[in-house]
Amino acid sequence: MVEALPDWDSEYDVIVVGYGYAGATAAITAHDAGAKVLLLEKAPETDKGGNSRVSANLVFWPNDILMAKAYFRALAGPYTDDISDGMIDVWATEMHANRAWLENLGMTPFDLPYIEFPEMAGSECVRVLMNGPGPMGGERLWRIIEAAVAARDIAVLYQSPAVSLVKDDCQILGVVTEQHGERVAIRAKRAVVLTCGGFENNPAMVRNYVDGLPRIFPNGTPYNTGDGIRMGLEVGAQLWHMNNISGPILSFKAPEIAVAQWLNLPKGTSYLFVARDGSRFTMEGDPCITGDLHGKVKRHGYWGQQVLPIPIYMIFDEDFRKSGHIGRATADWDVSHGNLYNWSDDNLREVEKGWIKKADTMEALAALIDIPAKALVGSVARFDALAVAGEDTDWGRSAGKMAPLAVPPFYAIELTPAFVNTQGGPRRNEHAQVISTNGTPIGRLFSAGELGSIYSFLYQGGANIGECFAFGRIAGRNAAAMAPALSAAKQLAA
């Protein structure tokens, strides 16, 4: 709902909605340009940080601007037509500027060899940075950005979701937030910056916008529910890149845990995946199933979105059950927020919980998971025969990585597609202004980050966080540079 002009409870120069990397960067930049800044965050402080905090904290840094533009265009493929040259120029320049900006804040860049599409034009420019050597994730970069916010006079309000934007005929004047059940109107004298993430946790938007994956669970923050898309639509924003997601990644979703967990396929080889009809549908180590290439797959010479059957069952035998834990704890939401689930090494705790079903025969297992017994028995027999023959003529799994399911009892665990983030949202231009349906910027409204990301198709790892910093700076700079809007009284007098 767009608000009529309210009585303001407080006022700032710039209000930034959502405190992940994009919001932090916009706030830091606007502050350093002299603005009085408020960061509004929906989550409580204990759950702070959005996808940014729980990410692998990798930053794509192009070491050459011209090559970066070529790589961007190659990845966007047919979608390049919708992205202006000016936008691509600014993206490449600001992505290149990220390294110096981060070093200035205290990052020690450490290069990781991770060129996702080496065959694409310009790919030689790809450097992916972590904050110092060591394992990925672990919040090491997040802590630097958080410290930079804390070191400045930037007001941060947690548990304060923006619920609507206040707009007059031509511009945004402030934000209505909800605090402890009360609606509070906060005036933004210069501008509002939307950095409140994607729609990973909005099932209706997922069904509407994501091709072929009507049920998919997030691996990251549960607080990104598409609020920026709703608020953008309410003030006439145009949407773009709504069908582009980073995923699917085959994961496990426990009913009692908010987000899905990536898998940790152990060394054992006596397992296969089947769909609801009992058929084996893939090579189990397919990189697009395990999350590489961010869910895009090349088939028949054509790149497209990977879709997966829902649900997927992993079927295995006693040998595999003993070979190591199937679930994993990684740089995800649960680890960062102290809710780490400690998956048992032999998977028996999960059998007891009922997450893994167990039966003495394949027929009985099929009955437990409600799939056709004949089809499951047939798929397993075929898999066993291929494993014995040493050649997977059906799906091309390496001979050394498959063994017959020979040792009962047998087990099944239901797996689900999951994703790390969405890319779609209100379209923005090279000044980080949000664009309306008629193609003009909406006055005093900016955005950055995965909300309305520039990425439309193939995706280079590290590019989302890079974009948060690049467009966060542009948004913060331009928001702070706006001349103050006239107060309501002055507007009436004018």
Check residue 20 for interaction with ligand FAD (CB under 6 A): yes
Check residue 421 for interaction with ligand FAD (CB under 6 A): yes
Q: How many residues bind ligand FAD (CB under 6 A)?
A: 43
Comparing CA positions, the residue from 53, 482, 422 lying closest to residue 227 is 422
CB of 284 to ligand FAD, least distance (A): 22
Comparing CA positions, the residue from 188, 353, 135 lying closest to residue 254 is 353
Our CB check for ligand FAD shows the closer of 171 and 224 to be 224
- For residue 135 the two structure tokens come to 């394992």
Check residue 237 for interaction with ligand FAD (CB under 6 A): no
Check residue 332 for interaction with ligand FAD (CB under 6 A): yes
- For residue 491 the two structure tokens come to 């507007």
Check residue 109 for interaction with ligand FAD (CB under 6 A): no
Query: Taking a C-beta distance cutoff of 8 angstroms, is the pair 223, 158 a contact?
Result: no
Neighbours of 250 (CB within 10 A): 25
CA distance 91 to 459: 14
Check residue 465 for interaction with ligand FAD (CB under 6 A): yes
Tell me which of 223, 383, 446, 455 binds ligand FAD, using CB under 6 A.
223
**Looking only at residues 151 through 210 of this chain, which bind ligand FAD when binding is defined by CB under 6 A?**
161-162, 195-197
Three-state secondary structure call for residue 417: strand
**Looking only at residues 36 through 55 of this chain, which bind ligand FAD when binding is defined by CB under 6 A?**
40-43, 50-52, 54-55
Our CB check for ligand FAD shows the closer of 223 and 410 to be 223
CB of 19 to ligand FAD, least distance (A): 5
CB of 335 to ligand FAD, least distance (A): 9
- For residue 207 the two structure tokens come to 């069904």
Tell me which of 14, 15, 16, 21 binds ligand FAD, using CB under 6 A.
21
CB of 18 to ligand FAD, least distance (A): 3
DSSP secondary structure letters along 135-184? SS-TTHHHHHHHHHHHTS--EEESS--EEEEEE-SSBEEEEEEEETTEEE
Check residue 420 for interaction with ligand FAD (CB under 6 A): yes
CB of 434 to ligand FAD, least distance (A): 14
Residues written for the chain: 494
Neighbours of 298 (CB within 10 A): 12
Task: Please report which helix (H) or strand (E) contains residue 478, including its range.
Answer: helix 463-481
Beta bridge partners of 445: 192
CA distance 33 to 479: 10
Tell me which of 219, 251, 282, 347 binds ligand FAD, using CB under 6 A.
219
Query: Taking a C-beta distance cutoff of 8 angstroms, is the pair 120, 76 a contact?
Result: no
Our CB check for ligand FAD shows the closer of 143 and 276 to be 143
Three-state secondary structure call for residue 386: helix
Chain positions contacting ligand FAD, by CB under 6 A: 17-23, 40-43, 50-52, 54-58, 161-162, 195-197, 219-221, 223-224, 227, 331-332, 420-421, 449-451, 461-465, 468
